[in-house]
């Protein structure tokens, strides 16, 4: 969820808060390890709760949809590569970019209308 999304949600809930305050609080939450900030290609910064479990992301280049996933095989392969290169992994992030195949993709709908 972006800072702007959070701000809009708060306004809809009749909260009296400014966008700068939302950014400031999110930055403080990030520094405290409560949220993680992601910069996915083609999007503004997105924040998610840090629930303590590692996961990776796949992002649709057309509609911007972000899916989280965890794959034990990928994690094991990364450890194997690190060991081979004599590294101990402290942290990592992996973001895959592709085009979703969802029938209800908003970008796909726009592309189809533009061709007709």
The domain limits of the chain are 1-52, 53-116
Buried b / exposed e across 65-89, counting CB within 10 Å, b at 16+?
Answer: eeeeeeeeeeeeeeeeeeeeeeeee
The fold of 1-52 is Arc Repressor Mutant, subunit A (1.10.10)
Q: What CATH number does domain 53-116 carry, 3.40.50.970, 3.30.1490.190, 3.40.50.1100, 3.40.120.10?
A: 3.30.1490.190
Give residue 101's pLDDT.
87
Report the half-sphere exposure of 3 (CA within 13 A, side-chain side): 20
Give residue 46's pLDDT.
86
**pTM attached to this predicted model:** 0.66
Please indicate whether the domains covering 1-52 and 53-116 agree at the CATH topology level. no
pLDDT, averaged per 10 consecutive residues of the chain (116 residues), comes to: 91 93 94 88 81 87 87 95 96 90 71 41
């Amino acid at each position: 969820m972006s800072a702007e999304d959070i701000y809009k949600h708060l306004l809809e809930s009749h909260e009296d808060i400014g966008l700068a305050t939302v950014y400031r609080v999110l930055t403080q939450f990030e520094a405290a390890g409560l949220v993680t900030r992601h910069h996915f290609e083609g999007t503004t910064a997105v924040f998610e709760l840090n629930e303590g479990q590692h996961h990776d992301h796949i992002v649709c280049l057309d509609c911007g949809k972000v899916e989280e996933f965890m794959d034990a095989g990928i994690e094991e392969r990364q450890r194997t590569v690190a060991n081979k290169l004599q590294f101990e992994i402290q942290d990592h992030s992996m973001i895959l970019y592709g085009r979703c195949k969802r029938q209800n993709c908003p970008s796909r709908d726009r592309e189809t209308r533009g061709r007709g």
